[in-house]
């Protein structure tokens, strides 16, 4: 049986990330990038597919664990009959190569530790050859090479070439392990000092976290969310991955298992909003610049997602040798949704750039021309059916959210032209486009009998994305149609405030069998909508509930199952943490005034 997702913590170096269980096992790590093949894949397979456990001999889960405040440095502690011990895990910012550092420190007594390292390249399918070299262990297979530098002696035995260690630590004693990846055809990179790396990494994270402008309720949750977003940033390009994992299921035992190790355009507006609100303009600018590079080209070729550097080809394949998390198969690498038409992304891109402009970021000379080209494409394309923001694999439909976001694209261009008369652009034509989309949505996307907007034209179903209608300004928050929609979502899609995206099992709209949990970002949208429609007390109570869903180290997955009480979907999920930060600022501003 796999551990609940909330048993995991995240460490990373802003180019990749690892998941560490409360039992001291690194069960997921892709090297050298987020989207590379995993060398530890036990998370979506079995221990034989790669993991690295370091814990007291015979011990189970840790007694306690926590991040050092404002950092991505993880301390995991065990109290045993022999004494107490701490394992500190981190991935320092890389100079040459990615390093995974594990430091064992004796706190009390004399504790016997045991380590088990199973390196398995290519998502757990390749057992590397292990040998000694320069006093260290090196594992090589194909393009991958991993060096293990260990202060305690280690041994490799068995036909599966697993590295074992057993040693003791006494109070005040510290020993370190460093695992380093590099291309097998290149020389071994320079060795790092694990203790100096710990000191420097902690200082850098603390300095970064000190810039946070938020000082209101749930400040720790907001800061942890911002640190998580920083950790999910691919530092060389500024792109932010949706999650560091693939194929963690939306339904245990089901097929809704997708690869989220890429950069989605729809995250862009909320990401920029969160970063700008919190005072992280450098990160916001890096994300804005990644966005401009990624979407450059023919507007008709705009994709919903890109690779870490803006790559366009993300072919989807299945990995049949992996058993899947909770027997949820297939396990996938790549994402075929990259080929879908999702018209909402045009609105999200233009809204992001409008937000960047309002925030005072220096404009790029080509950015305005790009936005005009995008809205020109939308002038006819907005009438098409599409797959919608939830990337349904069923038939294309006229999704209301897609039309609303097309309206957002035109509206933001109109406002820019009105505010800056010197900008080029046909204000009359784009204003007409905006009005045409608005009229069409009100006529065809609203159910007058039930007083609610619907999921798509001609449907009677609801969709949680309708909650964004007042958030983006499509209608004022006191409009009866908005009030009716918010109430309908609460009545039909909400379970004690936890909101499902739509009724998947009832309609089959997404072309897939089964159901899923409640979607956390939708629940944050509900809190936003409640606040805007005058129910601030309820909004704050819901926000309290949602913040409490974070695990013991403050991380959120994509979804939550109110029945089992467990998190579901890829983990940790940027969209969920973006929603948390955004709602905090919606409800409390910077929080400094209480």
Give the whole-angstrom CA distance, residue 57 versus residue 113.
5
- For the CA atoms of 106, 110, 112, 113, what is the dihedral angle to 10 degrees? 0
Give the whole-angstrom CA distance, residue 119 versus residue 20.
15
DSSP letter (8 states) at residue 591: S
DSSP letter (8 states) at residue 161: T
- Tell me which residue of 68, 40, 38, 33 sits closest to 54, measured CA to CA: 40
β-sheet bridge partners, residue 386: 397
Task: Report CA torsion sign: 352, 353, 354, 357.
Answer: positive
Give the whole-angstrom CA distance, residue 268 versus residue 582.
13
Backbone angles phi and psi of 82, in degrees to 5: -80, -30
Mean pLDDT by 10 residues, the chain (594 residues): 93 98 98 98 97 95 97 98 97 94 97 95 94 86 94 69 90 96 93 96 98 96 97 95 96 92 88 92 92 89 93 96 96 94 94 90 86 95 94 89 98 96 94 98 97 96 96 97 97 92 67 75 97 97 97 97 94 97 94 52
Question: Fold match between 5-207 and 211-588?
Answer: no
Helical pair 367-381 and 400-419, crossing angle rounded to 10 deg: 140
Please state the pTM of the whole predicted model: 0.95
The answer to whether 294 touches 263, Cβ cutoff 8 Å, is yes
pLDDT for the residue numbered 142 = 94
Give the whole-angstrom CA distance, residue 252 versus residue 515.
10
> Between the CA of residue 516 and those of 192, 491, 567, 569, what are the distances in Å?
44, 18, 11, 9
- In this structure, the chain runs to a length of 594
Task: Determine if residue 496 is left, alpha or beta; phi over 0 gives left, psi from -120 to 50 gives alpha, anything else beta.
Answer: left
What stretch of H or E contains 346? helix 344-358
Hey, where are the domains in the chain? 5-207, 211-588
Supply 476's token pair: 């004022």
3-state secondary structure of 340: coil
Query: Residue 506: exposed, middle, or buried by beta-carbon count in 10 A (0-12, 13-18, 19+)?
Result: exposed
3-state secondary structure of 542: helix
β-sheet bridge partners, residue 139: 130, 146
Supply 107's token pair: 């706190």
CATH of 211-588, one of 1.20.1070.10, 3.20.80.10, 3.30.450.90, 1.50.10.10: 1.50.10.10
Query: Residue 226: exposed, middle, or buried by beta-carbon count in 10 A (0-12, 13-18, 19+)?
Result: buried
β-sheet bridge partners, residue 104: 87, 175
pLDDT for the residue numbered 594 = 37
The answer to whether 144 touches 150, Cβ cutoff 8 Å, is no
Instruction: Give me the numbers of helices (H) and strands (E) for the chain, helices first please.
Output: 15, 28
Give the whole-angstrom CA distance, residue 372 versus residue 239.
23
Cβ contacts of 348 within 8 Å, gap of 6 or more: 265, 266, 268, 269, 405, 408
3-state secondary structure of 2: coil
Residue pointed to by tokens 């036909």: 159
Supply 527's token pair: 């809190």
The answer to whether 146 touches 136, Cβ cutoff 8 Å, is no
3-state secondary structure of 108: strand
CATH topology of domain 5-207: Beta-galactosidase; Chain A, domain 5 (2.70.98)
- Tell me which residue of 487, 501, 491 sits closest to 451, measured CA to CA: 487
End-to-end CA distance of the chain: 45
Question: For the chain, what is the largest distance between any 2 Cα atoms, rounded to a whole number of angstroms?
Answer: 78
Give the whole-angstrom CA distance, residue 196 versus residue 175.
13
Task: Determine if residue 185 is left, alpha or beta; phi over 0 gives left, psi from -120 to 50 gives alpha, anything else beta.
Answer: alpha
């Amino acid at each position: 049986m796999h551990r609940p997702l909330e048993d995991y913590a995240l460490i990373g170096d802003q180019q990749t990330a690892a998941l560490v269980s409360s039992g001291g096992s690194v069960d997921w790590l892709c090297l050298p990038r987020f989207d590379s093949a995993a060398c530890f894949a036990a998370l979506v397979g079995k221990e034989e597919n790669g993991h690295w456990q370091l814990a007291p001999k015979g011990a189970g889960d840790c007694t306690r664990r926590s991040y050092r405040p404002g950092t991505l440095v993880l301390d995991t502690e065990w109290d045993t009959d022999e004494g107490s011990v701490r394992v500190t895990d981190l991935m320092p910012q890389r100079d040459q190569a990615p390093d995974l550092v594990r430091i064992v420190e004796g706190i009390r007594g004399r504790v016997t530790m045991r380590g088990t390292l199973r390196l398995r390249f290519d998502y757990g399918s390749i057992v590397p050859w292990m040998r000694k070299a320069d006093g260290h262990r090196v594992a090589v297979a194909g393009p991958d090479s991993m060096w293990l530098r260990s202060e305690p002696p280690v041994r490799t035995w068995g036909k599966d070439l697993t590295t074992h260690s057993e040693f003791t630590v006494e109070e005040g004693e510290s020993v370190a392990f460093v695992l380093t990846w590099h291309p097998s055809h290149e020389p071994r990179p320079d060795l790092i000092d694990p203790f100096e790396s710990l000191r420097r990494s902690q200082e850098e994270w603390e300095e970064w976290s000190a810039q946070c402008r938020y000082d209101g309720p749930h400040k720790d949750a907001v800061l942890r969310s911002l640190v998580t977003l920083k950790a999910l940033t691919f530092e060389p390009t500024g792109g932010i991955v949706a999650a560091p994992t693939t194929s963690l299921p939306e339904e245990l035992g089901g097929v809704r298992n997708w690869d989220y190790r890429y950069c989605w355009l729809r995250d862009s507006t909320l990401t920029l909003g969160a970063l700008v609100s919190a005072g992280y303009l450098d990160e916001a600018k890096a994300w804005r610049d990644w966005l401009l590079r990624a979407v450059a080209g023919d507007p008709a070729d705009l994709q919903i997602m890109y690779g870490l550097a803006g790559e366009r080809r993300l072919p989807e394949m299945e990995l049949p040798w992996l058993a899947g998390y909770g027997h949820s198969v297939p396990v996938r690498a790549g994402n075929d949704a990259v080929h879908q038409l999702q018209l909402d992304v045009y609105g999200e891109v233009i809204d992001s750039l409008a937000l960047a402009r309002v925030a005072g970021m220096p404009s790029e000379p080509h950015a305005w021309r790009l936005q005009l080209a995008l809205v020109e494409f939308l002038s006819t394309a907005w009438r098409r059916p599409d797959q919608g923001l939830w990337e349904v694999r069923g038939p294309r439909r006229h999704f209301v959210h897609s039309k609303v976001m097309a309206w957002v694209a035109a509206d933001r261009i109109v406002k820019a032209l009105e505010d800056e008369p010197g900008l080029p652009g046909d204000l009359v034509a784009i204003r007409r486009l905006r009005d045409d989309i608005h009229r069409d949505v009100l006529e065809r996307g609203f159910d007058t009998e039930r007083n609610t907007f619907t999921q798509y034209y001609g449907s009677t179903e609801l969709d949680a994305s309708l909650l964004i209608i007042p958030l983006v300004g499509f209608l004022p928050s006191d409009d009866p149609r908005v009030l009716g929609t918010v109430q309908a979502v609460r009545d039909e899609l909400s379970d004690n405030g936890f909101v499902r995206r739509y009724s998947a099992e009832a309609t089959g709209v997404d072309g897939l069998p089964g159901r899923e949990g409640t979607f956390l970002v939708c629940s944050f949208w509900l809190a936003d909508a409640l606040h805007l429609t005058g129910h601030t007390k309820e909004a704050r109570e819901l926000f309290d509930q949602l913040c409490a869903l974070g695990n013991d180290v403050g991380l959120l997955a994509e979804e939550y199952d109110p029945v089992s009480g467990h998190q579901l979907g890829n983990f940790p999920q940027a969209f969920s943490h973006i929603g948390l930060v955004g709602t905090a600022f919606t409800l409390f501003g910077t929080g400094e005034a209480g």
